[in-house]
């Protein structure tokens, strides 16, 4: 049910962003345009240079998927701030800073001790992971904007680092080879055990899309493929989930993630982008 709600929220957000993009398509970009006519020595117009003043500056915002997930998903809270700074026409330095807390219960599906034909879920353990993370890297725009258009399809990378703690709230010991009491637990504990000072780092491949919905207000989304570089964990309980990286899979260093952002662009200065147009000649 939770996965269905999360998938539905993602679909609604995607359709909303798509609709916003379609509705804003063709809007006139508020850019400074200048025309410079270059003449031959005899005064005959040779060509015209169109100069667009492109905006450079800082874009800051928030990932709106995490507050929505906090609302719809039990035992989860999260917040992520996003930002990037335009270095050149297509190159951006980017960063994300976040904090997440998740509690989960892992269950085992076995035959009921009272009725072997009935399948039941037995709780193995319940744990809580809480911590912060930071991601730093670059994005490169691969989309060829028309003059005056401010949309970006980017590919980039991040180096990410997380510091977190993990609490084993309760656990049960299950043994499959039980002659007298099959499919039951042989023991466990409900005394919380906290493991602090845990860290992890990973590399991310990021593919994203941003468009200017309104003047200086951008909507965006991105998909992320992470590769776990380091993962310090306790000897008692492994790290099953890492803030910013998401679920850790057995015998695999790969993880996936996403975000949906809304951000505001703060223009700091402008640079000219020129395009030469052939001069119109009169028919004889």
Per-residue pLDDT of the chain (284 residues; tens, 9 = 90+): 444 444 444 544 444 444 444 334 433 344 444 545 445 555 555 555 666 778 899 999 999 999 999 999 999 999 999 999 999 989 999 999 999 999 999 887 776 666 767 777 778 889 999 999 999 999 999 998 776 678 899 999 999 999 999 999 988 776 655 555 555 555 677 888 999 999 999 999 999 999 999 999 999 999 999 999 999 999 889 999 999 999 998 888 999 999 999 999 999 988 876 555 554 454 44
Paired with 95 in beta bridges are 83, 136
Residue 144: other Cβ atoms inside 10 A:
8
Paired with 137 in beta bridges are 94, 158
Residue 187: other Cβ atoms inside 10 A:
9
How many angstroms separate the CA atoms of 80 and 68, rounded?
Answer: 12
How many angstroms separate the CA atoms of 126 and 10, rounded?
Answer: 27
Contact 269, 56 (CB under 8 A): yes
How many angstroms separate the CA atoms of 79 and 145, rounded?
Answer: 32
Measured in residues, the chain has a length of 284
CA atoms within 13 A on the CB side of 162: 32
Question: Distance between alpha carbon 68 and the CA centroid of its chain, in Å?
Answer: 14
Question: Distance between alpha carbon 210 and the CA centroid of its chain, in Å?
Answer: 12
Contact 263, 233 (CB under 8 A): no
pTM for this structure? 0.77
Cite the DSSP H helix spans in the chain.
2-24, 65-72
Tokens of 110: 């076995």
How many angstroms separate the CA atoms of 197 and 217, rounded?
Answer: 38
């Amino acid at each position: 049910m939770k996965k269905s709600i999360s998938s539905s929220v993602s679909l609604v957000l995607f359709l909303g962003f798509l609709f916003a993009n379609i509705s804003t398509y063709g809007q006139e970009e508020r850019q400074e345009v200048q025309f410079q006519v270059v003449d031959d020595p005899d005064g005959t117009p040779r060509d015209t240079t169109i100069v667009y003043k492109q905006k450079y500056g800082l874009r800051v915002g928030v990932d709106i998927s995490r507050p929505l997930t906090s609302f719809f998903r039990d035992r989860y809270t999260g917040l992520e701030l996003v930002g990037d700074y335009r270095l050149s026409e297509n190159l951006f330095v980017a960063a994300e800073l976040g904090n997440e807390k998740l509690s989960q219960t892992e269950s085992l599906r076995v035959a009921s001790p009272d009725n072997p034909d009935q399948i039941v879920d037995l709780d193995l353990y319940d744990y809580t992971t809480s911590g912060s993370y930071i991601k730093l890297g670059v994005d490169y725009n691969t989309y060829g904007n028309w003059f005056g258009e401010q949309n970006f399809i980017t590919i980039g990378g991040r180096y990410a680092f997380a510091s977190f703690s993990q609490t084993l709230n309760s656990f049960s010991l299950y043994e499959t080879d039980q002659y007298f009491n099959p499919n039951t637990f042989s023991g466990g504990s409900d005394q919380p055990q906290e493991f602090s000072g845990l860290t992890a780092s990973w590399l991310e491949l990021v593919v994203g899309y941003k468009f200017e919905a309104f003047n200086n207000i951008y909507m965006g989304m991105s998909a992320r493929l992470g590769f776990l570089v380091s993962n310090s964990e306790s000897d008692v309980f492994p790290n099953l989930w890492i803030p910013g990286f998401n679920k850790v899979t057995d015998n695999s260093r790969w993880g996936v993630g996403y975000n949906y952002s809304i951000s505001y662009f703060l223009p700091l200065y402008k640079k000219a982008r020129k395009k030469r147009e052939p001069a119109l000649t009169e028919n004889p």
